[in-house]
Amino acid sequence: MMSAYKGKPLGTIGDFGTYSFHETKNYTMGEGGLFFVNRKKYRDRAEVIREKGTNRKQFFRGEVDKYSWVDFGSSYLPSEMNAAYLFSQLECAEEINRKRLILWNRYYGELEDLQDKGKVELPYIPDDCRHNAHMFYIKVKDLLQRTRLLEYLKRHEIKAVFHYVPLHTSAAGKKFGEFVGEDRYTTAESDRLIRLPMFYALKESEVSYITEMIHRFFKGE
Ligand SMILES: *Cc1c(COP(=O)(O)O)cnc(C)c1O
């Protein structure tokens, strides 16, 4: 959410789009999400699917005199409590996004010299992409260095984490998928990636503390 590719907001490019409002996301309702459609017929069916397969929504609009089962479906409606929790964040969506971008840009600016020295790699944002500062990551040399840096940060009360393991190495990935070609980058890149703290309440001074600790770590390398 709040990102765009060639001026088009993400979620609006194809026939369908989704946003997640999971607790880890920029805007959150604990668990939940948003589904975009671009045609009326998809909207009508989506309404039925999320209402347990019934045309209850049409009934509320007075379009039918009783509601009944008309299709597949399940109970996908969020509770009003969750929706209210999300709604207040959507009212400040711009402000939340602005703050996250400030934090992101600060990380970038304060770590750029380490990238210039070849110690870390920073995220790359192509010119025609507008991002929403969902995460800030750095890439270090390899798995060993990442493990040492994560431990070092933990000792200084910084909770940084590694991220998604490549799907083809997971149990379900092995069962249902396959790796096509030679795994030259996927595993190696995954092994050296670290996510740094990124959330709305994070202070700019805390970002500076974190980047200072990363600099100290690399001084000892
Ligand atoms: C986004 C995300 C989820 C939830 O995604 P949904 O599409 O809302 O199910 C779970 N775990 C992690 C790490 C995520 O980033």
Q: How confident is the model at residue 207 (pLDDT cuts 50, 70, 90)?
A: very high
pLDDT at 119 over 90: yes
Determine the average pLDDT of the residues in 11-32: 95
Q: What is the CA radius of gyration of the chain?
A: 22
Q: For position 220, what pLDDT does the model report?
A: 87
**pLDDT band, very low/low/confident/very high, at 145 (cuts 50, 70, 90):** very high
| Pocket lining: 24 vs ligand 1, CB cutoff 6 Å | yes
- Taking the centre of ligand 1 as the mean of its atom positions, its distance from the CA of residue 22, in whole angstroms, is 6
Nearest Cα residue to atom 10 of ligand 1: 22
Quote the crossing angle between the two packed helices 80-91 and 93-116, to the nearest 10°: 70
- pLDDT, tens digit, 9 for 90 and up, residues 62-109: 999 999 999 999 999 999 999 999 999 999 999 999 999 999 999 999
Q: Among 24, 26, 34, name the best residue to mutate to test ligand 1's pocket (greatest count of ligand atoms within 8 A of Cβ).
A: 24
Average pLDDT over residues 119-133: 98
Task: Decide: 22 in ligand 1 pocket, CB within 6 A.
Answer: yes
